[in-house]
Structure 1
Amino acid sequence: MSSGARIEKVVTAGTFELDGGSWEVENNIWIVGDDSEVVIVDAAHDPAPILAAVGDRTVRAIVCTHGHNDHIGAAQQLSTETGAQILLHPGDEMLWHVVYPDLDFGPLADDQRIPVAGTDIQVVHTPGHSPGSICLWAPELETLFSGDTLFSGGPGATGRSFSDFPTIIGSIRDKLFALPPQTTVRTGHGDTTELGTESPHLEEWIARGH
């Protein structure tokens, strides 16, 4: 690890709403940086514990892995409090505007690099859970922030609007499993895993079809 960057975790709880349904969920928020600057990965539910974890450090960006309300609900207040830009893949613009009809975001692109604390975080566009879902690969930290694309035990959900199972399988197979197997996967919900732990199960997931 050649940079001074480290990874911190905050967990918040709230409601995920889509297609007329509502589910109580806990979300992982990841803070990547050092003692002076950070990037926030996802802006879930309650901004207060996220701001408390950031403290007086400069926030370089608020990166949302996708546009579901449970991952963006705190984005506006975090941006207001920190002055940082909100970044989201434009494929999820329709989901974003359900929550924020009049608020813009900075567009993310595949392979875009986000610098922080002497390291680069690379955007990996991984559609399937939603059209604009992304993961963030930090090679020097040997970490992938997978949002809701890949969890410990399988792919993210695809049974709701704007999602597609064959697409998420393709994203995981072609983009995520092409990364080093020892890469730690820090997920949007639940436990951390490794790519090499999950990759042997791909065919099982395909056979299950969900």
Structure 2
Amino acid sequence: MSLAVPLPPSIRVFERGWLSSNNVLVVDDARAALVDTGYATHAAQTVSLVRRALGERMLDLVVNTHLHSDHCGGNAQLQAEWPCETLIPVLGADAVRDWDETRLSFLATGQTCEPFSFTGTLAPGEVLTLGGFEWEVIGAPGHDPDSIMLYAAEPRLLISADALWENGFGVIFPELDGESGFAEQQAVLEAIAKLDVATVIPGHGAPFANVDGALERAYSRLAWLRTDPARNARNALKVLIVFKLLEVRSMTFATLEAMVADASAMRAAARQLAPQSAWPALVRELAGELAKSGALTLNGERVDAPATAA
């Protein structure tokens, strides 16, 4: 279990469940900014958390590290509540401008996101001033080709999104489609290792200080995945199944099998693991493994989220 790590007074982390990414509220005299906004089903809660923290003050800025639905799903409601600026990774700008849900991965993963607008972009090498600190924008492809991280040298603080967690990192999605992702993830980890980081605020899980230990575990996991890419595909299917269950709470196996066939990221992962005729058996096998780990429960022809899941 992680011990609480100190953060500068201008920075507050709302640690969310695994359906929603963490939200990082960064406030100074000039503006109040929120980095990442969680999933659509938690958007009202995100607005409430921010309003409670800011009181009468306005939210001035939303920053997205990447455009997966669990990191930008609260954008639209925050924009409706406050006339805030919104900065997104530059490589996702055209897809958001056109609201192309296929390019934005929402359809591919069987997830949802309310349409939102943006006022500017962030590219690697740029500097963003938040909370009294200067943050370098660092590219973080691997989990997502468009992803960025934010690094503040003065407090030695890294907002790593899904590039580095205390115990791993996000699914390497490009590899599901036969594109390069493992090499990019390796490069991102090596880039983090070169930074002087005292504390990491990850996209999921509590902030942590043992950066060397986290990197060691991440290198080991990445090497394990690269040895057999089917492991990444298997992990991706499990993650997407659990994510959907956290949203809808319960599904029949028939619905789950249809989702695997319809959502292109899940379909690509399944193709790496079995011929299509064997997908129903594959889905039941994965559900059984997830049930053993406590990530879901089996109820005849239904799969259910655990009662304690949020």
TM-score range, shorter chain: 0.7 to 0.9
Aligned position for 1:27 = 21
Offset of residue 105 of structure 1: 4.7
Return the structure number with greater strand share: 1
Aligned position for 2:187 = 170
Q: How do 1:1-210 and structure 2 match up within 5 A? A: 6-13=10-17, 25-34=19-28, 37-44=31-38, 45-46=42-43, 47-92=47-92, 93=95, 94-95=103-104, 99=113, 103-159=117-173, 164-173=181-190, 175-180=191-196, 182-194=197-209, 195-201=211-217, 203-209=219-225
1:3-53: CA deviation from partner (whole Å, max 9, x where unpaired) = x8521112345xxxxxxxxxx624211111236632211011322223322
Unaligned 5+ residue runs, structure 1?
A: 14-23
SS of 2:81's equivalent in the other structure is: helix
Q: Which has the higher contact order (CA 8 A, sep 6+)?
A: 1
Q: 1:67 to 1:26 in 2, by over 3 A?
A: closer
1:58-110: CA deviation from partner (whole Å, max 9, x where unpaired) = 43421111101111111122123222211111323331886355734521111
Identity %: 27
Residue correspondences, number: 195
Asked whether the 8 Å contact 2:75–2:116 carries over to 1, the reply is no
Amino acid of the structure 2 residue aligned with 1:53: A
Greater C-alpha radius of gyration:
2
Amino acid of the structure 2 residue aligned with 1:122: E
Unaligned 5+ residue runs, structure 2?
A: 1-7, 96-102, 108-112, 226-231, 233-310
Q: Which deviates more from structure 2 when the two are superposed, residues 44-53 or residues 164-173?
A: 44-53
Instruction: Write out the 4+ residue segments of structure 1 that deviate beyond 4 Å after TM superposition.
Output: 159-163
Asked whether the 8 Å contact 1:10–1:53 carries over to 2, the reply is no
SS of 2:76's equivalent in the other structure is: helix
Aligned position for 2:308 = none
Distance 2:158 2:33 in 1: 14
